[in-house]
Amino acid sequence: MSMYKVVPYEAARIYSIVVLPKSVPLNNRKFSRCAIVHRESTSNKAPSYTNLRGGFTNPLNREGEDSLKLRFFDQTKHMAYEIKHFYQDFIGNKEVQESQRKVHDLQHKLNILIDKRSSCEFEVIEIKKQLAELNSSQQTVSREDAQYIELLKQEFKLHSEKQRLDSLIEVMNYEHQLMLMQLTHAFNDVHLKERQEANNIRLVKLFLTTIVAVLGF
Using one digit for the tens of pLDDT, what is the confidence trace for 126-169?
999 999 998 888 888 877 777 888 888 899 999 999 999 999 99
Q: What region does 53 belong to: left with phi over 0, alpha with psi -120 to 50, or beta?
A: beta
The percent helix, strand, coil of the chain (3-state, each to 5) is 90, 0, 10
CA-to-CA separations, 185 to 46, 64, 111, in angstroms, rounded: 81, 58, 17
The answer as to whether 165 is a domain residue is yes
Task: Output 167 or 28, whichever has higher pLDDT.
Answer: 167
What whole-number distance in Å separates Cα of residue 172 and Cα of residue 176? 6
The answer as to whether 15 is a domain residue is yes
Q: Are 211 and 114 within one domain?
A: yes
Count of CB atoms situated within 10 Å of the CB of 114:
13
The answer as to whether 72 is a domain residue is no
Q: Are 34 and 112 within one domain?
A: no
Q: Can you say whether the dihedral through the CA atoms of 113, 116, 118, 124 is positive or negative?
A: negative
- What's the domain count of the chain? 2
The answer as to whether 114 is a domain residue is yes
Q: Are 114 and 39 within one domain?
A: no
Where in the sequence is the domain holding 210, given as residue range(s)? Answer: 95-216
Say what the pTM is.
0.56
Confidence of residue 97 (pLDDT cuts 50, 70, 90): confident
pLDDT given for residue 185 in this prediction: 95
CA-to-CA separations, 79 to 11, 65, 67, 72, 120, in angstroms, rounded: 90, 21, 18, 10, 55
